[in-house]
Amino acid sequence: MTPLPLAVTTSTKTDVATVREARAVAARWNLPFLSRRSSEGIAPWLGTKVEALLVVGGDGVTLWEPQGSFGFHAGMAHLRRMRLRQGQRDDAFLKVAEIVPGDAVLDCTLGLAQDALVASLAVGPTGRVVCLEKSLPLCIVAAEGLQRYHRGADSCAIEVLHADAHAYLKTLPAKSFDVVFFDPMFAKPKKAQPAFDVLRRFAEHAPLTPEAVEEGRRVARRWVVVKGARHTDDLKKLGIEPAPTSRFRDVIWGRVLAEK
C-alpha cells in the first residue's frame, strides 16, 4: 500500500479532548486523521503507513518523519520581542524594514515564523502581518503554533496562508502592503539542531528570483526586504546592496524601494 503523504494523529495522551483537537486540526487542513492507541508507537507507521505525521498533543503540533521531528517554538523571536518591549530598537530586521505601528507586512517565506512574530509586535494591534508558506507540513506546524502562542494585546494576529509566494504576489493589487519580506532558505546550511534538519527537508529550496522581487516591489508601498547569508552573493545576484552590519552576524539584509 502506498503511504499517505501526510496525516494527523494524537500524542500518547489519547483522551477525548486531545482526540477532538487532533480531528479539528485534520479538518482545518483537509488531512486524514489516524486513530492511535495510548500505547501505540508511531515509528512503525513512518515510511509505511505515512510519509510524515502531524502529532497533536499538549505541546502543540509536531511534525514527525523517519529521520526526526520538528515543532513550533518562538525561540529567539521571544527574546527579540522582549527587547523591543523594553524599548531597544536595534533589531536588524526592523532597522532595515523600518516597520512602524499600523503597517501591513507580507512575509513571503514564513518558515520558523521568527521575523513574523517580531513584525506582529512592531506593527501593533492596528497593523497586519500576512505570512505565506509553500510547504504544507511547515505551514501547518507554524500556523497551529502561532495560534497557540500568547502574543499579547500589543501585537496583531498573524495570518498564515499555504501559498507559493510568487504566484500569490501576482494576485495582489499594487501597493497592498507597506513592506514585503523574503527570507529564502540558504543554499549552504549552517550547523544547527537536528530539528532544523527536518525543517530543511520539507522547506522550499528554490532560489529567490529577480521576478519575484519585482512582483514584491509592485505590491509594496515602501520596501522589499531580503535576508541573505554572509559570504555569498545571494543579494547581489538580485541587484540588492547589503546593508552595513556587524561582521560577527551570520546573515545580511538588503532592501529595494517599491515601484513608484
Record the pTM: 0.91
d(CA 226, CA 232): 14
DSSP assignment string, 150-219: ---TTS--EEEEE--HHHHHHHSPTT-EEEEEE-PPPSSPPS--HHHHHHHHHS--PPP-HHHHHHHHHH
Q: Provide the H-helix boundaries in 33-153.
A: 76-85, 92-97, 114-123, 136-148
Query: Which has more confidence, 198 or 81?
Result: 81
Give yes or no for a contact between 9 and 33, defined as CB atoms under 8 angstroms apart.
Answer: yes
List pLDDT tens digits, range 141-160: 999 999 999 999 999 999 99
Query: Which has more confidence, 196 or 170?
Result: 170
Q: What are phi and psi of 256, to 5 degrees?
A: -130, 150
List pLDDT tens digits, range 119-131: 999 999 999 999 9
Q: Of the given ranges (57-66, 90-99, 233-242), which has the lowest mean pLDDT?
A: 233-242
Mean confidence (pLDDT) of the chain: 89
Q: Looking at residue 229, what is its pLDDT?
A: 79
Q: Looking at residue 122, what is its pLDDT?
A: 97
| pLDDT > 70? residue 195 | no
Query: Which has more confidence, 129 or 234?
Result: 129
| pLDDT > 70? residue 188 | no
Task: Collapse the DSSP code of 121 into the 3-class scheme (helix H, G, I; strand E, B; otherwise coil) and give the result.
Answer: helix
- Band the pLDDT of 207: cuts 50, 70, 90: confident
| pLDDT > 60? residue 192 | no
Average pLDDT over residues 32-57: 92
User: What separation in angstroms does the CA of 224 have from each of 100, 247, 249?
Assistant: 15, 23, 21
Lookup: cell for 157: 494576529
Label residue 121 exposed, middle or buried (CB < 10 Å: 0-12, 13-18, 19+): buried
Range from 149-163, 172-186, 201-215 that averages highest in pLDDT:
149-163
Lookup: cell for 246: 556587524
